[in-house]
Each structure stands twice: as C-alpha cells, then as structure tokens.
Structure 1
C-alpha cells in the first residue's frame, strides 16, 4: 500500500490484509476485512508558477479477502487452503491539480488520480505457501496490492515515499499500462526457488481497461486503449544468510525489541513489452506503438552507527523505444533509517531522489525533471501513522523556465 501502511504476509498462513475491524466485528477466520484511510494535504512554499497552490487529496480503500488458509500453519495446508479471493474498492477525493498549478510534470502526491470510486482489484490468488509456484488471475494492476503477490516495476523500499515519482513503478507512464488505480484483466505467474529466487511473468489485456475504470462512475480522463502488455522479471534476496535482517531489533541498553519496519535485501531485474493503440470515441485512431524497456532495482542493508536499522536502494528504467515513450529514462535512489531518534524505535526517516527524462520526439525541447524528498514517519500505533514531508522539484516541467519548487505536506494513514 502507501507510506507506512505495511502489508505483512503471515508466516503461519495466507497473506492477510485484516485490520482491527476483523476483531471488532467478530468476523469468521476465513474472512479478512480492512479499511484504510490515507490523506495527503500538501502546499507549495516557494518557486513554481503559483507558489501558494495547495491541495488536499485522500483515498478510502476497502479490502476483502476470503481463504480457508487464514490462521492455519502452511505445513497443514491442503490445496484448497492455498487459494484466496480478493476484492478491493477505492474512493479518491480532493484536488488533483496541484502539480499543474505549481508547474510540475508529475504529481507530488502518490494518491492523485481522477476523482471517484474505482474497482482496484478483483482476483483469485493461489498463494505459494511452501510450494514452488504462485498464480493470480483476475482484474488487477501491474504493481502488487498486497505483500507476497508478484509485483512488477516496484520494490518495497519505494513504498516509503509520498511523491508519485518515487513511490513504486519507477515512474513508468506509458498509456494503457495498468498502474493503480487502473486495472485490466490479467494473469501473474511466479516460480520460486529458495536458492535462485523468483521468476515472474504477467500479461494484461488492455481493451476493457477504460470501461472498468468508469464502471463505478469515474471519468478516467484517458482515451480507450487497445492492445496488451507483458512483463518478465527475476528477483531474489542475495543475503539470505543474514537471518538477523528478518528478526526483531534489540534496542541497545534495554531488554526490549521491536519489529523491523524496513524491507529485506532484494535484487530485481525485469523487462516489459507493450503494444497499444489509442482511440478517441472508440473510432478515430490516434496512433499505435510498441514500447519495450528494461528495469531493475537493488535494496541493500547499510551498517552505520545511525538509527537501529538502515537500507539504501537504487532503481531505474530505460526504454528501448524512446520515440514512443514520453519518459524514456528514469533513475532513482534513497536511504531509509529506522529508529534514528532515541525513544522512537518504530519511526522511519526516508530520503529519496529521482530524475526523469523527456522524449525528444514526443516532448521536443524538454530535458528532465528531478525530485528530492525527505520525510519522517511517526509510528503512533499499528493503525495510525503521520508522515511529514518536504519536496524539492528541480527544473519543473523540463523547460528550464519554471523556478524550482519547494513544497511541504503530510501523509496521514489510518488502518482499520
């Protein structure tokens, strides 16, 4: 999910998204229900076209999952226990135009989408458990909705940021590629080896994507797309011998320990292939194009005398068809530190930066736009976190005409 709303896979059974509503409503063990509220108020401070521009944007996310494997040890699973049904609905509300009012090409908030209600997942998942394969079939996005599902163009470390540039999917913005909240019928497959890692494949049929987006009344604001997109990736934990990275953290000079908020080490390499045609009013062809690209990311532990736990990460994507891709290259990286302030062992400091180039064919005269973000996540409880943020947008719009933007805000996460 977003920010510090961590979706943790149960070590004893199927991945679960249940919140405290599960207990309050005394729901049966085979049913998981949660509601997340995420708000991202943000305002410009200096620079940009209109430095005083401000925006409040929020999302309410309803998750419902069904599985007979919930609460069971994986060693006791029958084949039926591997299977899980997921439904996710999202309602977006607020002002989605902050970036254009400031002059930035990319949204400063992760949440910003066309306003309204969306179907953001309806799928059947075969959880791997202790077996070697996993699969998901249904209506979904390319990125993962929950921990444990195959996720493409993303790494867990990127979920600690608020900027849409840094928060997952490596700023891939090709028309039709189903990035949340857009979904399309598709399939994801995963083959896993404890020693070699996971090989994952995804295919999406894009033709019904716009009609699905509009099914609950949203105006998606994009033309109809015909075609398909595929992705293939390999990822692994290269430091599996570092078992200390998956255990709780002992707090120095005390007998206490706390959960580890930062992700495990990971190396990810992948590629994508998109063949699309855009239509206006389902009749007039605008164009068609092939988009191919490669991407990768690395998340690595950093042993420094700062905080209780640290990670550095880097990621990027490069297009093999820059004349069809509006943003052919993207590079990013960052640092995460847990417990950097004494007495706040569950808080996380995040520093990240990203640089996106513009296609000289699609966007002639534009060079690049850069983003630097610093945020700090105050862990109030398992269900409530507050994440103040500061962002600096470098060369907004890519024209070397708009002054650099300083913006500030906060993300509020409430998980029920």
Structure 2
C-alpha cells in the first residue's frame, strides 16, 4: 500500500509544469515567413541540477530538458484589439511538449517533490488542442477542447519566477488524475470580466480519457486510468488597478532611461475546486477514489524598498477539505521579487521563495511536512535567451525527520525560438 502511494505521489509531483503557459512567437516565426494569422514558437528549457545531503559531498546530479512547440491561428493575432470583429476573437491552439533527461534527482536525495519545474515522465505529450475566444476589449472569454487547469486556475504570475516544483506550480496540488500540465482532458472554460469587480472563471473537465490522451504519442504517463470529473471556480482582481504607474515602464534612478517592467501586476485571487475521481487500479480505492474539495488564495503586492528598481511580495496557500483522498491537503508559500538589484542590470530579477507542504496523516501516517527555501537570479540576456542560476535548501525531506537537509544548486537556461 505504501509503495503504491509513493509511486502515485511521485507521478503526480512529476506532472507539474507550473506556469509554463502558451509559448510566445519567437524568431522562428520571422525566419519561416509565416502569415500574420499564424504564430509558431519553439521554447527550449534545460535545468541541470545537483544536490548534497547535510552539506556533504555531492550525492546526486540530474539533467532535464523540455521542448515546447506551439501553434496558434487567428485572424486577430496581429491586429489592434480595438479594431477586432467577432471572428478576430477566436483562436485555434495546438501544442506538443517533449521531455527528456533523468527525472530521479528528488528520490536520490530523499525529497518527496521534484527540485526542477520541468520534471515529468519522459516522452512526447499533447499539451494543448483547443479553440478559444480571447476577451480582447470585450467582457467574456471561453475555451473548449483539450486543456489543463493551468494557467487559468491555481496559479499566479509571481510563481513563474522560481524553479522548484513546489514554488512554480499549481500550489502543489497532487491529487492523482487532475489535469495539471502536461496532463490534459476534454473541458470547457468560461470567463467574465469587469473593470471594477475583476474576473471570474469557471472550468469543467471530463477526466476519463486523460490517461489515454497522455499515452497517445507513446509516453508512459505513470498514472493509472482515471474516471471522474473536475470543476473549478476562481475570482481575481488587481486591487491597485488605479495605480497607472505600475502599468508603465520603470525609470532607472538618476536617469531618463526607462526599461520594461518585469514583475507582475498586483493580484488578489480566491478560488476553489471540486473533483470526483476513481483510479482503475487494484487497491487504489483507499487513496484515490471519492471526492476532493479545496480552497485557495493568493496575493501579490508592490512594496518600496531601498534595493532594486521594483519589488513585489507574494503569499499563497491552499486547504484540501478531504485529507483522506489528498496527499498534500495543506500548502503555504510566499516570496519576494526584486528587479534591477545590480547596477547596469535593470532587467534582471532576484527571487526568494519558500514553501511548506503538509502530508495527509491518513494517507501517509508518520510523515509531517517538507519545506523548501529557494534563491535564484534571472539574468536577462535577450528576448531569446535567459539564464537563471538557483540555490535551494530542502527542509525535512520526505517528512520523515530521518533525512538530513539537502543543499541543491543548478541553473535554468531558456531559449525562446
């Protein structure tokens, strides 16, 4: 029983891609001379890392990479939104993701969760195939087809500045069978927006074909067949939307030079989800069948500090209401982001973050929590190339109290082609 739970937990943890949202068109678009109604992008990311137990000699190293190919088609892609006709709002989205490398760094170091955002079962995945209505300047948006919960639900832009999977993800929600990227399921999303009241989104996902879709291109998704459905509801608003300066470029101190703002806008977010799942594997009824309900919230806020050109703090947390079915029913996280902390590097971002994941006393008796502290520095080289060295400290790995703390370090290199 414990071995089964461990495998399912590792599989769910590996399935988190965090806020790796739709890829943006890069130089390959121009190179191929594609028409204005088509956007093609290729994003390549690699995350080599290594770790050591209790400050001793290196215990394990790992290399992992991911290539995401995205294609979007719409008559409104290169038009001003103010000129859109109804047909211009609609867009077809297709995306494939290929993952390769060694996904076992966390298990070799004794951690329950992956240290790298990218780590998923190796192979090629269908990660998007749908039609969507972009809101533009109207009040509503929609999407239907094959899709994940993220980036619409359980995520905020601030998380995307981190590398550890418990920071850059959907609040470490690890219920097996939920369609978190790279897993997709047939579904619909509907959204409504008000300048004064914010945005509200609703999503429904049909889970029965999820595992077969994941395996359709030959990948072993490391997840049993699932039956059930998921519904999610989320409200969010920019509480400082009247602060027009936060929408504008940043003026470099003692200079007339302005640079692009790299940090996210203020955000307040509240949401919840309700899932019913049945895992079609012998003995899984104790750990995966039944209802899973949860609530979550996040806040991103600007602060004035004597360091950096722009600063944010953020807090986030989730509470699972069915700990008998949820491996990590409580989760909390927070962090600080600062742009331009070094002279002559106004586009670089320094990020500090921490998380605490508490294990279910029913599913994993004897386990308490695992925590992470991450410090990284994102070096902006160009729109095409970014490099992000990182250091992590894993606290109470696996929640047993028996594994010493783990130091880990590495780098993320991202190419936006």
TM-score bucket (shorter structure): over 0.9
1:33 aligns with 2:36: no
Equivalent positions of 1:226-241 (< 5 A) are 226-241=227-242
Aligned to 2:211: 210
Measured in 1, the distance between the counterparts of 2:72 and 2:215 equals 23
CA contact (8 A) 2:96 2:127 kept: yes
Partner of residue 10, structure 1: none
The aligned residue for residue 6 of structure 2 is none
1:80 paired to 2:91: no
Does the aligned pair in 2 maintain the 1:30–1:69 contact within 8 Å?
Answer: yes
Partner of 2:144: 137
- Contact 2:53–2:109 (CA under 8 A) maintained in structure 1: no
**Cα distance per residue 1:84-135 (max 9 Å; x no partner):** 0010100000000000000000000000000000000011110111111000
CA distance in 1, matches of 2:254, 2:329: 50
For normalisation by structure 1, the TM-score amounts to 0.93
What displacement does 1:348 show? Answer: 0.3
Q: How many matched pairs?
A: 401
Question: Relative to structure 2, which stretch is displaced further, 46-55 or 304-313?
Answer: 46-55
Partner residue, 2:334? 333
The structural deviation recorded for 1:71 is 1.3
Alignment of 1:251-400 (within 5 A): 251-280=252-281, 288-400=289-401
* Deviation of 1:256 (Å): 1.2
Q: Residue in 2 aligned with 1:110?
A: 117
Separation in structure 2 between the aligned mates of residue 376 and residue 76 of structure 1, nearest angstrom: 40
2:135 is matched with which residue?
A: 128
> Could you tell me how far 1:280 is from its partner in structure 2?
2.4
Q: Alpha-carbon deviation of 1:213?
A: 0.3
Partner residue in 2 for 1:52: 59
Q: Does the 8 A contact of 1:47 with 1:406 survive in 2? A: yes
Is the Cα–Cα contact under 8 Å of residues 336 and 353 in structure 2 kept in the other structure?
A: yes
Instruction: Assess, with a 3 A threshold, how the Cα gap between structure 1 residues 294 and 48 changes in structure 2: closer, same or farther.
Output: farther
- How far the C-alpha of 1:47 sits from its partner, in A, is 2.8
Structure 1 CA distance, aligned partners of 2:256 and 2:55?
Answer: 50
Secondary structure at 1:280 match in 2: coil
Deviation at 1:75, TM superposition (A): 1.5
Q: CA deviation at 1:230?
A: 0.8
* SS across alignment from 1:170: coil
Are the equivalent residues in 2 in contact too, given 1:299–1:312 (CA < 8 A)? Answer: yes
By how many angstroms is 1:395 displaced?
0.2
Determine the C-alpha separation between the residues in 2 that align with 1:349 and 1:176. Answer: 34
Paired with 2:221 and 2:169, the residues of 1 have a C-alpha distance of: 21
The 4+ residue runs of structure 1 with deviation greater than 6 A are 1-7, 283-286
Q: Once the 2 structures are TM-superposed, how far is the Cα of residue 50 of structure 1 from its aligned partner? A: 8.9
Cα deviation code 1:220-240 (max 9, x no counterpart):
111101001111010000001
State the match for 1:161 in structure 2: 162
Residue 4 and residue 278 in structure 1: after superposition, are their counterparts in 2 closer, same or farther (change >3 A)?
closer
Correspondence 1:18 to 2:25: yes
Give me the CA root mean square deviation. Answer: 1.9
Q: Distance in 2 between matches of 1:96 and 1:273?
A: 30
Q: What is the CA–CA distance in structure 1 between the aligned matches of 2:295 and 2:389, rounded to whole Å?
A: 33
Distance in 2 between residues matched to 1:175 and 1:50, nearest whole Å:
35
Alignment check: 8 A CA contact 2:18 2:165 kept: no
For the residue of structure 2 that corresponds to 1:210, the secondary structure is: helix
Change over 3 Å in CA distance of 1:5–1:232 after alignment to 2: closer
Could you say what secondary structure the match of 2:103 adopts?
coil
- Within 2, Cα distance between the matches of 1:201 and 1:351? 32
Which piece of structure 1 moves more, 50-59 or 129-138?
50-59
SS in 1 for 2:88: helix
Q: Secondary structure at the match of 1:165?
A: coil
Corresponding residue number in structure 2 for 1:68: 75
Question: Relative to 1, partners in 2 of residues 1:196 and 1:314: Cα closer, same or farther, differing over 3 Å?
Answer: same
Q: CA deviation at 1:168?
A: 2.4
Deviation at 1:3, TM superposition (A): 9.6
Q: Assess if the C-alpha contact under 8 Å between 1:157 and 1:299 holds in 2.
A: yes
